[in-house]
Amino acid sequence: MARGGGPGGFDVNALMKQAQQMQAEMLEAQEKLKDEVVEASAGGGMVKVKMGGDLTLREIAIDPEAIDPEEAELLQEMVQAAVNEGLRAAQELASSKMGGIAGGDLGGGLGGMLGG
């Protein structure tokens, strides 16, 4: 007889419990990410940014030597590069913190409940 009343041994109750647990873990990980900060720079450190793990721009610092009215476009490019690098680093941080919750559990954790 199938556990949980599902066809083919599919345990709906266990699946729901696992999904709720994963959701709680994801919410907890997202809250912790708000406290994480990554740093990135461009132009040899002339432009520095700090990004939150929740993908918010927390701080931007521009070396006064980088401010040249004749080179405004270069400064814009450095700011853009620093912000993009900061976003990439923050996304990588989020992925590493949250990847184990969904990625690891989905493959092995739920597989046993599908009657496989």
What is the CATH classification number for the domain harbouring 58?
A: 3.30.1310.10
User: Does residue 103 belong to any structural domain of this protein?
Assistant: yes
CB count in 10 Å sphere of residue 33:
17
Q: In the structure, what pLDDT confidence band is assigned to residue 34 with cuts at 50, 70 and 90?
A: confident
Name the domain count of the chain: 1
User: Does residue 18 belong to any structural domain of this protein?
Assistant: yes
Q: Dihedrals φ, ψ of 51, to 5°?
A: -115, 140
Calpha distance 32→14 (Å, rounded): 27
The mean pLDDT value for 57-64 works out to: 95
Q: What is the pLDDT of residues 79-89, one digit of tens each?
A: 999 999 999 99
pLDDT of residue 9: 72
The mean pLDDT value for 38-51 works out to: 95
Provide the greatest CA pair distance for the chain: 78
pLDDT of residue 62: 95
pLDDT of residue 102: 61
The mean pLDDT value for 2-6 works out to: 50
Domain that residue 76 falls in:
8-107
